[in-house]
Chains A and B, each alone.
Chain A
Amino acid sequence: NAGVTQTPKFRILKIGQSMTLQCAQDMNHNYMYWYRQDPGMGLKLIYYSVGAGITDKGEVPNGYNVSRSTTEDFPLRLELAAPSQTSVYFCASKPLGGGAGDTQYFGPGTRLTVL
């Protein structure tokens, strides 16, 4: 299994441009999450999904959009990029059920700079 994969690894955007960060998982996990991590800070939840076709906002959703048309993929769309969106973006997934299965599995991240 490849686990959680993210593309691209790095990207530089100009103010006002748009882009999509890709996230895919091959573990058949129901839950998927997008976080951002600013320097010296913990991770903040942007959006999450509890299954295909179901998404909801997290703590910092402004300026982002998501969709979940399949179990495997959970792309994050940035519209009209702003310097405040400069960050490292992590995608994570989690299987259905509790106990040890509550662990979230993280991708390697996408480092985005908006100039």
Chain B
Amino acid sequence: KQEVTQIPAALSVPEGENLVLNCSFTDSAIYNLQWFRQDPGKGLTSLLLIQSSQREQTSGRLNASLDKSSGRSTLYIAASQPGDSATYLCAVNPSGAGSYQLTFGKGTKLSVIP
């Protein structure tokens, strides 16, 4: 059974710092991996999606990398801002599952201090 772990569970950084969020998964047979953002009391918003054949994806100040063989992904946030404060969730989509089901980690709660 696929398990997804996110470390750390919570992170507090001063504004302007660069930071890295980590995600690991137990089964390397994945179709893709996604990073989501969740604001308090809100739904999830997709940030980046990395296909299994890709090594990284970038969107603005966000960069996500994927090392499928080691079962790891990182989300790099450059020049953090208070508006980046949210919970970040990692989810994997297993290979061969035509339903495109996602298995989620528990998330990393990020606080960016002004």
Contact = CB atoms under 8 A, between A and B. Distances in A.
Interface of A: 4, 31, 33, 40-45, 48, 50, 56, 58, 90, 92, 94, 98-100, 102-109
A90 B51 CA distance: 24
A64 to B, nearest CB: 16
B106 A100 contact: no
A50 B104 contact: no
Interface string B93-108: 1000011111011110
Given A42-B4, A42-B106, A43-B89, A106 B99 contact: no
Interface stretch (B12-20, B42-50, B64-72, B75-83): B42-50
A42 B107 contact: yes
Interface size class of B (residues with CB under 8 A): 20 to 34
B25 to A, nearest CB: 12
Interface of B: 4, 31-32, 34, 36, 41-46, 49, 51, 89, 91, 93, 98-102, 104-107
A45 B44 contact: no
B106 A40 contact: yes
Residue among B49, B89, B91 having the largest count of chain A Cβ atoms under 10 Å: B49
Contact of A42 (B32, B43, B105): B105
B73 to A, nearest CB: 15
Contacts of B102: 33, 43, 45, 104
Contact of B44 (A41, A98, A106): A106
A77 to B, nearest CB: 20
B106 A90 contact: no
